[in-house]
Chains A and B, each alone.
Chain A
Amino acid sequence: MENDVLLTMRGICKSFPNVRALNNVDFTLRKGMIHALMGENGAGKSTLIKVLTGVYTMDEGEIRIDGEEGAISIRSPQEARSHGISTVYQEVTLCPNLTVAENMFIGRSERKTVDWKGTEKRAGELLESLGIPARPRQQLGSCSLAVQQMVAIARAVDTDCKVLILDEPTSSLDDNEVAMLFRLMRDLKSRGVGIIFVTHLLEQVYEVSDQITVLRNGELVGEYEVKDLPQVELVEKMIGKDLDDLSKLKGSVPAGGTGKEILYEAEGLSSSESRPFDFHIAKGEVNGFTGLLGSGRSESVRAIFGADTVTGGKVKVEGKEVKITKPLDAMKNGIGYLAEDRKRDGIIADLSVRENIILALQVIRGIMHPISRSQAEAFADEYIKALDIKTSSPETPVGLLSGGNQQKVILARWLLTHPKYLILDEPTRGIDVGTKTEIQRLVLKLAEEGMSITFISSEIEEMLRTCSRLIVMRDRNIVGELTGDDLTQERVMRTIAKGGGKDE
């Protein structure tokens, strides 16, 4: 068995400013095995991959590879390739305007001139032996995404590859294309290539992988044989129980707004990114969408806010039918939305804390009714104090603040609009534990004051503590709804794991 070991990583540590991304992680890959690397967001999967491919340099630890004496150091992607480690990323990183053969051999010729005839012949042979339905002279852009992905794999394996890393290769493929990709993966496996498969989709892991390594919060949870690890246990290991000081909040879950007046109601709401779903929230209720990453929870709340193109459905706010097709509609109906990606969709980095705080209220008031400078300063001071935002001055560009304080600025922005319904998509991601607790306390306090809140978090404990109703999603569909006594980690995991209905 030990002879089969292809790659070992021992005690890998990697820190970034303020974050320990990897802490003493081990990883072993064996010949002819497909090894799934699993973990929620921020677990350290991509950091581990980047260490292995030389994008990052590890702080501590050693990497050994079969056939080479001693520990190796990988300082650049070129070095990784020279050790036989190749990567295919989620997004195809080839040139769509070149031909398939050109893409497979570009940048790899040792001589200054290229023997195109020979190249095409070799490409043809390789494509045929791997069963990839593409012609060497075909323009890459004219192939389907799956075939492009496979060409990228063919390019990777041709460079005498021992270790192939597939980073979410299936995320933009349909079922048939995934099947095609899996056939290729099994073929490579039978040739002795070791494959590291990174994905969020449980079903695919169970269909194609042999082994699973689970990471959580930068630490190794364990290495398992797929046949020994039922889906429920995998989900449990991925989500875990966090042992922070948040347990104080436990038990303060409000009775919930069920039976009270319905504030927002959607029927068959769908957007360009989400499938039709029904949803409602009562006044003063805190509910949440849960599910693994990519389950469609963010897309659902984006549809509620009109952040993506709304394609259908009926929406009622306080019993009145309204049209919400763009963010401003939602804002005028008293809905606020804190986006998942703080940097991309939240902060206006170069604007000051003050300008960021007043932005949403200002937009609701309209272009002809500016908030006066003194009023804006008063608002900013009020919320900097109320939320304890740590900034040297209200005039500091918000981009210079820490993540947690940026998040508070965006919270302040929405609270200033006095919304009736506030959607918080991952408000606690990537911020320190202290701020996490503050934000959860704030959510409960606001709900007590009558605000309806939808709360999304990858950390299930947080949701169990704050929400009185959980909507469980899997593979872009709602697969269950949990309330009252059902609000336990186990029930959530079971619902996620069984939700597909194909597993048992």
Chain B
Amino acid sequence: MNKKKLFAFNSQLLIPVIAIVILVIFNLFRDPSFFSVSIASNNNGDPVLQGNLISILNGASELVILAMGMTLVTAACGGQDISVGALSAIAGSVFVKVLKSGGSISPGLVIGGFLCCCIVAMIFGAFNGTLVSVFGIQPMIATLILFTCGRSIAYWINGGATPTVTSPVITAIGGFIPGIPVPTPILIVILAACLFALLFRFTTLGLYIQSVGINQAASRLNGIHNVGIKLLSFIILGACCAVSGVIGVSRLGLINHETLLLNIEMDAILAVAIGGNSLGGGRFNMIGSVIGAYAIQMLTITLYAMKVPSTDVKAYKAVVIILLVVIGSPVVKEAAGRFWKKISEKGTAGTGKEAA
């Protein structure tokens, strides 16, 4: 029984865990100090954690949150939302617009701004979801619309300017809360993960999403509202976009509708894939996507630490990703499965002899 559970864990999370382990080993050999974490004090004299490990966890925050939402959409609809970057830019712009509306930036105003951009992002998510679930358009085509025009909408919201927002509250969201040495984005990711855990614990959404993703006809005959479930997955992803948009804006203290979380949709989809989830929908494992997202970020930081010029990083990344997806492909998996079976058969034959 125990062995079976272990095996189930293996098959689902094998690839992302392997990716992380390989990167860790590689870095240990290259430069053990890569993993050193130290406490330094920032400009305000507060203690803060520093080191590559922290910047990996911190830098991956937006990606992790988007990957979690993307996992749901992928599972329910068997397709991906490619507009998450653009939607995050819209959400960020709305956030800044609200902050700029008042005189001074109070914590209350920040909360109001977050709620506003959350609602806006969820409405856009619902728009994508309606195209997919009601009109039956393929997710990638449906979200291509917002992918194309999203950053223009973000541009209109702030009248074409790239306004800056300076406030201790914003610095606290994008950097550190005074007295807490852990970067706030990491805390936000933990909070989001807890929210998802609660969602799956206290509702049946996980079961319904997988059911719809695997067999729509049978799900319908069991009383599941297919359209509603798909729509809901897009709305949740919209909320994820709002959170990552707010983090992105707070890091820089300004909104740049052209560059905020640019191209992040591809990394988010990749995280889902590396996480061992089928991009054709159905069964999903959100932990896999999260580990996948961190693996991508770790790869990026490793490359930077190796002094690879930022213009070349993408090419190196591509090589590693080719390796990862080939290892995760059904052909290699099957071959590995056969190999594994052979070994375990030999193993049991051996123990059998011993017992005799």
Query: Which residues of chain A have a CB within 8 Å of any CB of chain B?
Result: 305, 307, 326-328, 331, 337, 339, 344-351, 355, 359-360, 362-364, 367-370, 393, 395, 413
16 contacts between A and B (CB under 8 A): A339-B221, A344-B217, A345-B217, A345-B221, A347-B215, A349-B214, A349-B215, A350-B210, A350-B282, A351-B214, A355-B210, A359-B207, A367-B204, A367-B208, A368-B203, A369-B204
Residues of A contacting B223 with CB < 8 Å? 326-328, 331, 360, 363-364
Residues of A contacting B211 with CB < 8 Å? 348, 351, 355, 359
Return the contact of B202 from the options A359, A362, A370 (Cβ within 8 A): A370
The reply to whether B202 and A327 contact each other, CB–CB distance below 8 Å, is no
Which of B8, B207, B218, B283 has the most A CB atoms < 10 Å from its CB? B218
The reply to whether B204 and A362 contact each other, CB–CB distance below 8 Å, is yes
Query: Is there a chain A Cβ closer than 8 Å to B222's Cβ?
Result: yes
Nearest residue (CB) in A for B278 is: A350
A85 to B113 Cα, complex, angstroms: 72
Interchain nearest-CB distance for A48 vs B (Å): 29
A307 to B219 Cα, complex, angstroms: 11
The reply to whether B207 and A355 contact each other, CB–CB distance below 8 Å, is yes
Return the contact of A345 from the options B205, B218, B283 (Cβ within 8 A): B218
A368 to B1 Cα, complex, angstroms: 31
List 6 additional contacts besides A331-B223, A350-B214; criterion CB under 8 Å.
A331-B222, A346-B221, A348-B211, A359-B211, A362-B207, A370-B203
Query: Which residues of chain B have a CB within 8 Å of any CB of chain A?
Result: 1, 4, 8, 201-205, 207-208, 210-211, 214-215, 217-225, 282-283
Residues of A contacting B203 with CB < 8 Å? 367-368, 370
The 3 A-B pairs of least Cβ separation, nearest first, read A328-B223, A363-B223, A370-B204
Nearest residue (CB) in B for A397 is: B283
Interchain nearest-CB distance for A485 vs B (Å): 37
The dominant DSSP class at the B interface is helix
Residues of B contacting A395 with CB < 8 Å? 4, 8
A359 to B225 Cα, complex, angstroms: 13
The reply to whether B4 and A393 contact each other, CB–CB distance below 8 Å, is yes
Interchain nearest-CB distance for B107 vs A (Å): 32
The reply to whether B218 and A348 contact each other, CB–CB distance below 8 Å, is yes
A367 to B205 Cα, complex, angstroms: 7
Interchain nearest-CB distance for A93 vs B (Å): 23
Residues of A contacting B204 with CB < 8 Å? 362, 367, 369-370
The reply to whether A348 and B208 contact each other, CB–CB distance below 8 Å, is no
A413 to B202 Cα, complex, angstroms: 22
The reply to whether B202 and A350 contact each other, CB–CB distance below 8 Å, is no
Interchain nearest-CB distance for B31 vs A (Å): 43
From known contacts A350-B283, A355-B207, infer whether A363 and B222 are also in contact, taking CB-CB under 8 Å: yes
The reply to whether A344 and B207 contact each other, CB–CB distance below 8 Å, is no
Nearest residue (CB) in A for B215 is: A348
Residues of A contacting B222 with CB < 8 Å? 327, 331, 359-360, 363, 413
The reply to whether A363 and B224 contact each other, CB–CB distance below 8 Å, is yes
